[in-house]
Chains A and B, each alone.
Chain A
Amino acid sequence: MRYTSAEMMTIVAARRIKDGDRVFVGVGLPNLACNLARRLNAPNMQMIYESGVVGANPSRLPLSIGDPCLVTGAVCVCSMFEVFTFYLQKGLIDVGFLAAAQVDKYGNLNTTVIGEYHHPQVRLGGSGGACDIASLARQVLILLPHERRRLPERVDFITSPGFMSSRKERERLGLPGGGPAAVITDKGILEFDEEGEMVLVSIHPGVELEDVKANTGWDLKVSPQLTVTEPPTERELTVLRQEVDPEGIYFRR
């Protein structure tokens, strides 16, 4: 089956979720990837949203993280204060799933501004819960299209801390969460080495290594055990297209 690079990225992201994981689901593509994982490899995952919905069981793809379909049939609805304190800060979240405008070499995320803070070239949405998720979830998965401007050596603004400049630096800050575990793009999968620097560990089928390097804003480290990502299966594509996004809201077809 033919597929697009955006579909590939979403499917790869969904595969990273383990059955039974408690996942704090961010806005946008993470929402899509989690709703796909729940129908495939992780039927027992618990989806938790910053809107206070715990154990969501939506009948259709939620259009935002506050969609009423998240409430109907959920295990629990609590206040935002409770979801950030009892669930996230308490350490109950296995995976925080985030999108970003920019991610740098050490997994720091920017969703605030491109350019200078007070006179920005582009003003973005801001943290929302992202900084809190990045600080407090046991591990963080990051999803973004692989473009040079989105993967600069240093982000213009650290909205949400990754490893800052090294794993030691994050440790020094005393953040309870484990930090970024992987960045999933439409070209490959990147993880973090013992220093906390991003390393390409897998490349999607049909993507050239030079293309990945050219679209990264620094001299990207490549794992000696670089693998080729398994292409999407027919089942993954069918569920994504027919059940998760049947109206093509995320993927124009």
Chain B
Amino acid sequence: MPAPQINTFRVGKEIRVAKHPTEGEAPRDGLFPLAQGQLGHLRREGVLALAEDKVMSLSEAIDRLVQDGDCLYLAGFTHLIPYAAGHEIIRQGRRNLTLCRATPDLIYDQMIAAGCAKKVVFSWAGNPGVGLLRCFRRKVQAGEIEIEEYTHFGMVARLFAGATNLPFFPLRSITGSDLPEHNPNIRTVTCPYTGQALSVVPALNPDVAIIHAQRADRHGNAHIWGIIGEQREAAFAARKVILTCEEIVSSEVIRSDPNRTLIPGFLVDAVVEEPWGAHPSYAQGYYDRDNDFYFEWDRISRSEEMVRAWLDEWVYGVSNRQEYLARLGAEKILQLRVSSHFSVPANFGSRR
């Protein structure tokens, strides 16, 4: 029997997880079938069958849940950026969106270039490690797009307030900066205990948050590891959540390591299995950042014509992510794949 592996481009039907090193002799690949593991009772007792199956295609998820004029938060700080979902929004021609992200990154540069956005809410608009976001910058310099600007702390504090049902969040930053002069949503309150003046930012509650996870079950319970950025805050703050993931796994895999679950399924409205859905950003343990493309975009985005040609080829010219990947090619995919580096499993103990 070929050894199936978690953390691969496509997982086989059989789900395997790392075995605890103290439980007898580990198989040579360090993995064992989970069905024989300790959580089999969940399936036998029907616990898993109660939850709703939310799996659908990306085009269906965007069609059902994202409307013109919506306020969106595509989460992920340099890591797990939901590019596949962003491209589907472009393909479906959504307009007048308010695009919120601490770091708009290339995905919002592309959505702005495609005419999806009327406003961008952000804290750092650059091409990480490369330079500037040229499409964004052209629109701002021409006065063709609204902006609302914070600091990183301000942005994540807005999400935290939104996620915890508070009207605003106080911070000991921003005071002294010129940002509040140009953003009336940054205000000041007097602390009722000390009398000190504190900057406050308003809660952010996007209509839809889109999160890309490494793995999730069919109900949307999602494991995320590596840089987690503002993904959990965005999911809890939003009215609706679309979850795309590298692979759908059984609920037993999720429940074998509950500390790794950042997003509980009951927040999630749609689950989409979209391998390589974060390319050209990266997915820790799955594939590396496509740095060549980040540099390439710097060149492409110098001219509006080249941007249009790129969108025609890579977004409008493909009908889904599979076609995008086929165009990307095996050589590139092999180049970006990473080798395995597992953490040591945590022992949760057993009472049976």
Q: Report the nearest B residue to A71, measured CB to CB.
A: B226
Q: Does A5 contact B (CB under 8 A)?
A: no
CA distance A70 to B282 in the complex (A): 13
CA distance A127 to B201 in the complex (A): 15
Taking CB atoms, residues of chain A closer than 8 Å to B214 are: none
Taking CB atoms, residues of chain A closer than 8 Å to B176 are: 135, 158, 161, 164, 170, 173, 175
Contact check, B178 vs A89: say whether CB atoms are below 8 A apart: no
Q: Does B174 contact A (CB under 8 A)?
A: yes
Instruction: Give the contacts of A67-113 with B (CB-CB under 8 A).
Output: 67-68, 70-72, 77-81, 84, 88-89, 112
Among A37-45, A47-55, A195-203, A227-235, the one that faces the other chain is: A47-55
Across the A-B interface, the 5 shortest Cβ-Cβ residue pairs: A66-B78, A161-B176, A128-B124, A64-B129, A125-B126
Contact check, A132 vs B232: say whether CB atoms are below 8 A apart: no
Q: Does A214 contact B (CB under 8 A)?
A: no
- On chain B, the number of residues with a Cβ less than 8 Å from chain A's Cβ atoms is 57
Q: Mark B152-165, 1 if CB is under 8 A from A, else 0.
A: 11101101100000
Contact check, A175 vs B175: say whether CB atoms are below 8 A apart: yes
- Extra contacts, 4 of them, besides A112-B178, A126-B124 (Cβ < 8 A), are A66-B77, A72-B341, A125-B125, A132-B154
Main secondary structure, interface of A, reads loop
Taking CB atoms, residues of chain A closer than 8 Å to B143 are: 118-119
Contact check, A126 vs B153: say whether CB atoms are below 8 A apart: no
Contact check, A159 vs B153: say whether CB atoms are below 8 A apart: no
Among B32-40, B58-66, B90-98, B283-291, the one that faces the other chain is: B283-291
Contact check, A126 vs B227: say whether CB atoms are below 8 A apart: no
Taking CB atoms, residues of chain B closer than 8 Å to A128 are: 102-103, 123-124, 126, 151-152
Q: Does B171 contact A (CB under 8 A)?
A: yes
A-B contact pairs, 30 of them (CB 8 A): A52-B229, A63-B291, A64-B128, A66-B78, A67-B129, A67-B289, A79-B156, A79-B233, A80-B77, A80-B230, A81-B156, A81-B230, A81-B233, A84-B156, A89-B171, A117-B182, A120-B140, A123-B140, A126-B126, A127-B124, A127-B149, A127-B150, A129-B151, A131-B153, A135-B173, A136-B173, A159-B179, A170-B176, A174-B175, A175-B173
Main secondary structure, interface of B, reads loop
Taking CB atoms, residues of chain B closer than 8 Å to A89 are: 153, 171-173
> In the complex, what's the smallest C-beta–C-beta distance from A224 to chain B, in angstroms?
31
Q: Does B318 contact A (CB under 8 A)?
A: no
Q: Mark B58-93, 1 if CB is under 8 A from A, else 0.
A: 000000000000000000011100000000000000
Taking CB atoms, residues of chain B closer than 8 Å to A68 are: 79, 226-227, 282, 284, 288-289, 338
Taking CB atoms, residues of chain A closer than 8 Å to B233 are: 79, 81
Q: Does B22 contact A (CB under 8 A)?
A: no
> In the complex, what's the smallest C-beta–C-beta distance from A210 to chain B, in angstroms?
33
Highest count of chain A CB atoms <10 Å: which of B143, B154, B226: B226
Taking CB atoms, residues of chain A closer than 8 Å to B78 are: 51, 64-67
Contact check, B341 vs A66: say whether CB atoms are below 8 A apart: no
